[in-house]
Structure 1
Amino acid sequence: MKARITAVVAATVLSAIVTPSFAGDAAAASAKKMFLLKDGGTLYVFEDGKTALEDKFGRAIHLKEGQSLETVDGQKITANGNEVARLDGLLRQGHSGG
């Protein structure tokens, strides 16, 4: 009985760790470039040159046209567009629960 409980707990912990790693797969595949930002977020640059911003919690957030963002290595990038709906759809892909 203890072995069974241990196996269930281990499976639950592993699924909690592994599942978030797939959250941005569609977004990463659709992006031409991705930049890790100093604040923990990620800037996505799509093939058409438009940009979208994901915060450190994995949510697509509003981005002002021309907003300056700093990458973890200190590079400054200027936003071009605000593809929040596009990114939100990509981040949610595969998470419909159905």
Structure 2
Amino acid sequence: MIRKLSILVLSLAALAPAFAMDAARSEAKQVIALQNGETLYVFKDGLMAKESKFGSVTHLSKGQVVQTADGKSITTMGNEVARLSSLLNKGHGN
């Protein structure tokens, strides 16, 4: 009984980051993989935010050129650090 309960708890804990990522991905119009393992989120209003390969939100300068995983260049618009941080942390609060 205790073993089944601990398996259930571990399974639910593993799903928590997936739900947080779903919030960010569903809010974004487009999610683009970048060359260095980072992820660029393009929101419906055209503004953008960048997530590092470690899952933290990183600063994005307006007009910065980033390389996609397939080698294309994108010029960024905006720096939506707070928006992406909020979406990634959704569901992790007490």
- Amino acid of the structure 2 residue aligned with 1:74: G
Secondary structure at 2:69's aligned position in 1?
Answer: coil
> Under a length normalisation based on structure 1, what TM-score does the superposition of the two structures give?
0.80
CA displacement 1:6-43 (0-9 Å, x = unmatched): 65775566456443322311110110111011111110
> Which residue pairs with 1:41 in the alignment?
38
1:91 alignment counterpart: 88
Unpaired segments ≥5 residues, structure 2: none
The one-letter amino acid paired with 1:54 is: E
**Could you tell me how far apart the structure 1 residues matched to 2:3 and 2:35 are?**
39
Q: Quote how far apart the aligned CAs of 1:60 are.
A: 1.1
- The unaligned stretches of length 5 or more in structure 1 are none
Identity of aligned residues (%): 47
TM (norm. structure 2) is 0.83
Instruction: Determine the C-alpha separation between the residues in 2 that align with 1:78 and 1:11.
Output: 44
What is the CA-CA distance between 1:83 and the residue it aligns to? 0.5
Query: 8 Å contact 2:16–2:92 — kept in the other structure?
Result: no
4+ residue runs of structure 1 moved beyond 6 angstroms? Answer: none
